[in-house]
Amino acid sequence: MKKIKWLLSKKSGRSVGTVTVRHQGGRSKRYFREIDFKRSNKEVWGKVQAIEYDPNRTAEIALIVYEDGKKAYILSPDGLEVGKKIIASGLAPIEMGNSLPLDKIPIGTIIHNIEIRPGMGAQIVKSAGSAAVLQGKQDRWILIKLPSGEVRRFDPRCWATVGQLGKIETRLINLGKAGRKRWMGIRPTVRGVAMHPHAHPHGGGEGRSSVGLKYPKTVYGKRAVGKTRNKKKYSNKLIIEHRKKGPHN
């Protein structure tokens, strides 16, 4: 039987010893649990054997044992309990944890774990407590309101899972101390203006200095504040209504 859990080796943001991703290092030992984002075992009923904590994501995961003997992890929706039966099928009932193509899901249904391209596996609405709403149908497209407030068009052949993801209280958790962040493998983040000029574009100057230099930049010199979205991004044509404007937009 295929393994769905194995020890996750540390990379600490380094390639051949050179830091390639800043602010990573340390971390407690952890296991990687392979999540079945494609819900690949279709048309087969499965039973929830356990609801587990996963250190690699904010949401909880559910261990599913299928009638054909296969096992898989999926993201656990809010309210999913041990012993409940779920299925991924075009004819599945509209119940929490079941996965269906978007054109088989009624308007107004709360969903998560949504594919962007058919057969690619879920890519959006996967974090704890998140949920999207299927708003309607337009020509050959399905309209979905995402957690950000953005309304986007999706291919009706894409799959999604019914329900809201669990562990809604995640955003209220207070880590309590810096050490807990280190256990997670996250190192301190130093402000660019506090660095020397060779380490960051914001660095240097006499005493406390402002960012200056036209506009705020990343350590790699890319624009950090303002409109940073790629003007040629593939999904621009799929957006019907843009997300709510934040303080920097």
- Radius of gyration, alpha carbons of the chain: 22
Tell whether the model's pLDDT for residue 247 goes beyond 80.
no
Q: How many CB atoms lie within 10 A of CB 141?
A: 16
Tell whether the model's pLDDT for residue 249 goes beyond 60.
no
211: left (phi > 0), else alpha (psi -120 to 50), else beta?
alpha
- Calpha distance 97→88 (Å, rounded): 9
CATH topology of domain 5-170: SH3 type barrels. (2.30.30)
Tell whether the model's pLDDT for residue 56 goes beyond 90.
yes
Q: Which two tokens stand for residue 129?
A: 């407590």
pLDDT at 1: 63
For the ranges 38-52, 163-177, 205-219, which has the lowest average pLDDT?
A: 205-219
Tell whether the model's pLDDT for residue 29 goes beyond 60.
yes
Largest interatomic CA distance in the chain = 69
- Calpha distance 43→25 (Å, rounded): 42
- Calpha distance 177→28 (Å, rounded): 16
Among 213, 219, 218, 224, CA closest to 198: 219
Give the residue extent of every domain in the chain.
Answer: 5-170, 191-249
- Calpha distance 38→109 (Å, rounded): 20
191-249: CATH number: 4.10.950.10
Percent of the chain with pLDDT over 90: 85
Tell me the average pLDDT across 43-61.
96
pLDDT in tens, 98-115: 999 999 999 999 999 999
pLDDT in tens, 116-146: 999 999 999 999 999 999 999 988 999 999 9
Among 228, 222, 229, CA closest to 202: 222
Give Cβ neighbours of residue 5 (< 8 Å, ≥ 6 apart). Answer: 31, 32, 33, 34, 73
pLDDT at 226: 86
Overall pTM surpassing 0.75 (yes/no) = yes
Residue 28, CA distances (Å) to 8, 34, 165, 174 in order? 11, 19, 26, 19
Among 104, 66, 112, CA closest to 85: 66
User: Per-residue confidence at 97, pLDDT binned at 50, 70, 90?
Assistant: very high
